[in-house]
Structures are given as structure tokens and as C-alpha cells.
Amino acid sequence: MPSSIISSKLILVAGATGYIGGRLVPRLLEKKYRVRCLARHPDHLKGRLWAGKTEIVRGDVYKNENLSAALSGVEVAYYLIHSMADVADFERHEEVSARNFAAAAVLAGVKRIVYLGGLGLDGLTLSKHLASRQRVGRILANSGLSVTEFRAAIIVGSGSISFEIIRYLVERLPFIPCFRHLKTTRCQPVAVRDVLSYLINCLDKPETAGRRIEIGGSGIYTYLELLELFAGARGLKRWFPDFGRLMDIMPSGLPAVWSAMIGLLTPIPRIFAKPLLESLEYDVICANSDALALFPEIKPLDYQTAVKYALMRISENSVETTWAMSVIPEQTRPYAFIDREGLIAEERTLVVNASATKIFETFSGIGGARGWFYLNWLWTLRALLDRAAGGIGMRRGRRHPDIIAQGEPLDFWRVERVMEGRLILLRAEMKLPGKGWLEFEVVPRVNGSSVLRQTAYFEPRGFMGNIYWYGIYPIHKIIFAGLIEEIKTRSENCE
């Protein structure tokens, strides 16, 4: 299709702040579509690199707010909204939201809706989560609109909630109790890159309009096999003891217990975990091969390959694409401990009465002869311990006392990213049971002051990685609290 025709088509993405929506938008832009984003909190999109290339409209599908403006002139709308993390009665919220959106789309003359739902055999009594996903699809289709509904099981990619549960359980626990549904229930996980390909390619395939298309990867597995394969991909030895009937009653009889355990052992909230655990009882596999026939150009990945790509993304790009793209809002929290998407983060924020330029000059001059500003003797001790263990210590120093460049070493860090006047990201090169980063970012305010954010990230490797982080966290807490205060003091005194 000629690019001039493609670029004239206006696409709405409802749910652009979500996992799939946030990845779909830049790919639509690459295809030269005009994109409009509907979001309850537009500020959450301002830090995305593609935000300036889109039109962002504030609106709320559940409250039926501003939907007519969002849908005006839209030819195709992606409906990628979920309410599972918002409220306990997510089923009612999803039903109301879908009805509001469908009615507004009909009035606006939208030609087509593309929706991503969940797999599950029709006619069966499904879990609340799966039933709600399918109910939303029916509501959209019953409105009279042309709807392309994709149904998927676990989406394999860094940040996907189902995938992250598997990731955290395997990496944090030396053994995982095995119950019947883990061994018998089958699923057909699909790589996130394949999901995005289906969502985008359907726009050029009129034969997919009005169709319900089940999508999955090239293999079918039990959940136990997913856990075992992930452990193998990470090089971790894990034990899956079978406790017999004692464990068999718990997934269906006491899902709240398991969701509470996941809430304690992982950063996945209980409100997410409970409906997902209830779905373990049901097979989620493709009942037909329609997707392969309609999309012969897409060759779905198997689970092992999808995991490899997901882990590669985490190790190479997660901090930059998942964390560092966000913008500090005006109403900031002074402290936050975040544990999600494979990374642990200790984030601190201060308002500094100095220009962003001065603050950037201050934190970009850290290390080398100046030292690390606060409790420098502890940094020196850490370097000596690293050197004794065969690491690099602080013997590399820094190339220039004031100028910092991407890619160069800085003591026992590597400068991974520099945004001049705004941000530096350092990657730890000392010996660690995982990977670590330290980020400094400054955002100017309209009154002449600035917001300074300092974040320490750690990606633990296995159980010992988590023991390491939480074991030394009390020391880190003292060091990082003092460090940001010292950057604030030095910046204000030099202004």
C-alpha cells in the first residue's frame, strides 16, 4: 500500500500507556500511520520518545469522558484496555468500559476496532479473568462494528505480567512447590513481537475484519515446563517438588493464599496474581490454525526462543526503554522503593533551588579525584573489596574531571547513557551477583528551580542476587540518601 495512503489513515490507540499499547504506537508510526493516543493520564506518555509524533487525548472509557473527541475522524481503533490492576471488581469495570467505547465508536463512524483478548474454549465456565476478556470482545462485536479480535495466552516479553511471574518465581526461589494444574494444564505462549506483528499486519488484510483469531507460539507446554525451560535459559538449577494432594487443592480451593504468596515473593500485586492463578485450571491453546492461514508471513517463535529474546532485551535495553524514558511529574514523591519488571529500584527525588544546568554539572562531575561526595570511604572500601575479588576497583578513575562521555569508564562504572544537561546513566562493572545501574536525572521547573532524581537499579541473578541486594540495602539506603542531599547542597552553593 502506498505510504501516502497509509499516512492518511488516523489510528487511535486506547491503552497507549499499557504494556502492548506502549510498544504498538512506535511501530505504527514507523509504518507512517497517523496515531492518536487515549490515556487517563497523558503525563505518563510525555517521557516516551515517540510522544511528540502523536496526538495525545485525555479521556476515560469507564467514566465515558472525552471519548467523542478521541474517536473523531478515527478510521481504526485499537482497544487495549484492562482493568484487572485497577479494582477488585474488574469484570464490571471492563464491561462498562467496553460498552462506553463501543457506543462512542459507533457514533464517531469508526470503521474498525482491533482488540486483544484471551484464549479459552467457548462454552466452558472460565475463570473471571478469561471470561471477562472474552465478554469484552463480544460487547465490541455486538455493537455492529467491524471487530478483529485476537485471543492470546501468555505473552512472552519483559514486562508482561504472566511472564514476569514466571521470571520472579524461578529467579527468587530455589524450589517451587508443584501442584496438579502446573503439570496438567496446557498453554500456548506467544512472543510479544509476534503479537505486535499480528496487530499491525491485520490493518492491511481486509479479510481479518469481523474475525476472531486465536494466536499462539509454535509450541504447547504445561506450566511446569515453562518454569523448567525458563530456569534452563537462565542457567539456574531449580527443584520442583511434588507434594501430592496437599498441593492439589490449593490453586482452585485457595487462590487467595497463592496470590498472597506471590505478592510477598515477587513485586506482582495480589490484585493481579489472584485472577491469573484462577486461570491455571483452564487450557489456553489455539483451537484452529486460522492465524497461520491469514498471516503466512508471520512465523511464530517457540517459547525458548521467545524467552531468549526477552532476556536479551532485559540485559541490554531494559533500563533505557523501561525506566529512563519517564519524566518526573511536578508532584513528586521524595522516596520510592520499586520492584518490578525484573529490576529493583531505589529512587529518591528532591527539589533543588538551582538551575538544571548547574545540577547536571554537579552530578556529571562525580567520581575520580572528587570522590563520591558522601561517605567516600565506604565507596573506597567497596572498591578495595572488589579489587581483592579480582575486579577492577577504582583504579580507572575518570578521563576528564568535568566532561563525561557515553561509553567511557568512570571508576568502577561505565557511562552507559548521557543526555546533555539532563541525565547520566552509569552501569556497574564491579563484581556483582547481578547487574547494577546508577542514574541521575534533572528536570527544570517553571519557577527556576529543578527536580533532581537519583535512582539505583539492580537486576539480581537468581536467589543469591536477591540476598545480596536486601542484605546490603540498609547501607545503600544511608549512602544514597546522603549522596542526593550532597548533590543538592553543592548545586545550590555553586549557583
Cβ-count burial of 400 within 10 angstroms (0-12 exposed, 13-18 middle, 19+ buried)?
exposed
**CA-CA-CA-CA torsion for 309, 310, 316, 322, nearest 10 degrees?**
140
Q: What is the pLDDT of residue 243?
A: 62
Is-contact 349 174, C-beta < 8 A? Answer: no
Q: How far apart are CA 179 and CA 269, in angstroms?
A: 22
Q: What angle do CA 339, 352, 347 make, to 5 degrees?
A: 5
Contacts of 410 (CB under 8 A, 6+ apart): 366, 367, 368, 396, 398, 404, 426
Cβ-count burial of 209 within 10 angstroms (0-12 exposed, 13-18 middle, 19+ buried)?
middle
**CA-CA-CA-CA torsion for 304, 309, 310, 311, nearest 10 degrees?**
90
Closest CA to 456 of 319, 312, 322: 319
Q: What is the pLDDT of residue 369?
A: 85
Q: What is the pLDDT of residue 342?
A: 59
Closest CA to 15 of 57, 52, 49: 57
Instruction: Per-residue pLDDT tens, the chain, 495 aa: give them.
Output: 444 444 568 999 998 888 888 889 999 999 999 999 998 878 777 667 788 899 999 999 999 999 999 999 999 999 998 765 455 577 888 899 999 999 999 999 999 999 999 888 765 667 777 888 889 999 999 999 999 999 999 899 877 777 878 887 888 778 887 777 788 888 999 999 999 999 999 999 999 999 999 999 999 999 889 999 999 998 888 888 876 555 554 444 455 666 666 666 665 666 666 767 777 777 889 989 999 999 999 999 999 999 998 888 766 544 223 322 333 333 345 655 555 555 788 889 999 999 999 999 999 999 988 999 999 999 989 888 887 887 777 766 787 888 888 878 888 898 888 888 999 999 998 889 988 999 999 999 888 899 999 999 998 887 788 888 888 888 988 999 999 999 999 999 975
Q: What is the pTM of this model?
A: 0.67
102: left (phi over 0), alpha (psi -120 to 50) or beta: alpha
Q: What is the pLDDT of residue 323?
A: 28
How many C-beta atoms lie closer than 10 Å to residue 244's C-beta?
10
Closest CA to 130 of 151, 106, 146: 151
Q: How far apart are CA 494 and CA 492, in angstroms?
A: 5
Q: What is the pLDDT of residue 320?
A: 28
Q: Which domains does the chain have, with CATH numbers?
A: 328-494 (3.30.530.20)
Q: What is the pLDDT of residue 371?
A: 92
Q: What is the pLDDT of residue 93?
A: 87
